[in-house]
Amino acid sequence: MKTLIIYFSQTGGTKKIAEAIRTGIKSVGAECDLIKIKNVDPSGLRKYDLIGFGTPTFFYREPLNVQRFINNLPEMQNMHAFIFATHGSCLGNTFYYLSEELKEKGFVVIGAFDSYSDSSLQFYPKPMHTYGHPDEIELKEAEEFGKKICRISEKIRQGNLNLIPNFKLIEDTWWAKDSKLLTPKTLRMISPKFQINMEKCTQCMLCQTECPGDAVDISTNPPEIQKEGCIFCWFCEKVCPTGAIEADWSIIRANTKSNLRKYIKLLEEAEKQGKFRPYVDYRKIR
Ligand SMILES: Cc1cc2nc3c(=O)[nH]c(=O)nc-3n(C[C@H](O)[C@H](O)[C@H](O)COP(=O)(O)O)c2cc1C
């Protein structure tokens, strides 16, 4: 079996899960290529039997660059796909939306895997409540998932169609309601406006090369940032080594305390169900 894993990862959590799934896939004798979403040539995808799509969760679903990538794929004619995601406290409707978009392109989504991952946003205290994830247990689970997904693909090809999962849209939670309000338009409105301080900028280009939405152009005068395509991940500000990208975080920071309380509540529930293992005493983060 020839498989491919396509992933988007900014801080490395999704990449670790992608690599563990690949280890599992290879251990059952299948081939597995691994490629960053930015480097994928969509015209070369039909040579695979099974394609995995991995993403972080942004704003309770898959990020805008992943949505755009899938929307631009050609029709895939019953190609088997699996999906995986990393997240802080809340996976949200990531699997529902990802699977719906892939199905529209002709994929058959045959399985999903998710993991907690350290989510270090600029305006939250450190270490984050999800510090230490994905941990050894999650990486092992990802490896097992890789083994299992190849067998599932074979069984579905043999006619076991009841193995195809169905992902439901969750609508009755506070985060699902929040998520509905977070459209590209409103994200632009609530996101801090970034500015490049040219006295501090060393033209290292990191903000431009790391931008998942190709929304930075520092060749113009003045340089452009948060252009059309911006996915509001705020990574450019984070990676700038000289602090040349300046932002006013006060509005977002004002909500941090109440948001953190809600996220920790979700983690406490997950901990009770044995789904989350805290490596920091997150009750003290407040
Ligand atoms: C802009 C942004 C939005 C995020 N939204 C969510 C979210 O809705 N739910 C969640 O659990 N984590 C959220 N996170 C945390 C990421 O999903 C988490 O850190 C992810 O594992 C990062 O993956 P990576 O290390 O592969 O980049 C968000 C992170 C960023 C940067």
Task: State which H helix or E strand residue 115 sits in.
Answer: strand 108-116
Higher pLDDT pick, 252 / 41: 41
In the predicted model, is pLDDT for residue 117 greater than 90?
Answer: yes
pLDDT of residue 124: 85
Strand order in the sheet with 80-87: 31-36, 2-7, 50-56, 80-87, 108-116
Residue 147 included in any domain:
yes
CATH (domain of 43) = 3.40.50.360
pLDDT of residue 119: 76
Residue 283 included in any domain:
no
Taking only the tens place, the pLDDT of each residue in 55-88 is 999 999 999 999 999 999 999 999 999 999 999 9
In the predicted model, is pLDDT for residue 283 greater than 80?
Answer: no
pTM for the complete prediction?
A: 0.97
User: Probe ligand 1: pick from 16, 89, 119, max atoms within 8 Å of CB?
Assistant: 119
Residue 222 included in any domain:
no
Residue 235 included in any domain:
no
pLDDT of residue 286: 65
One-letter amino acid at 235 equals F
Residue 86 Cα: closest atom of ligand 1: 21
Count structural domains, the chain: 1
pLDDT of residue 66: 98
Taking only the tens place, the pLDDT of each residue in 38-49 is 999 999 999 999
Q: Residue 128 Cα, ligand 1 centroid: separation in angstroms? A: 12
Q: Ligand 1 site: residues with CB under 6 angstroms?
A: 9-15, 56-60, 86-90, 92, 117, 119, 121, 233
Residue 81 included in any domain:
yes
User: Probe ligand 1: pick from 9, 37, 57, max atoms within 8 Å of CB?
Assistant: 57
Record the tokens describing residue 115, joined without a space: 């993991």
Domain that holds residue 28: 2-163
In the predicted model, is pLDDT for residue 284 greater than 80?
Answer: no
Residue 26 included in any domain:
yes
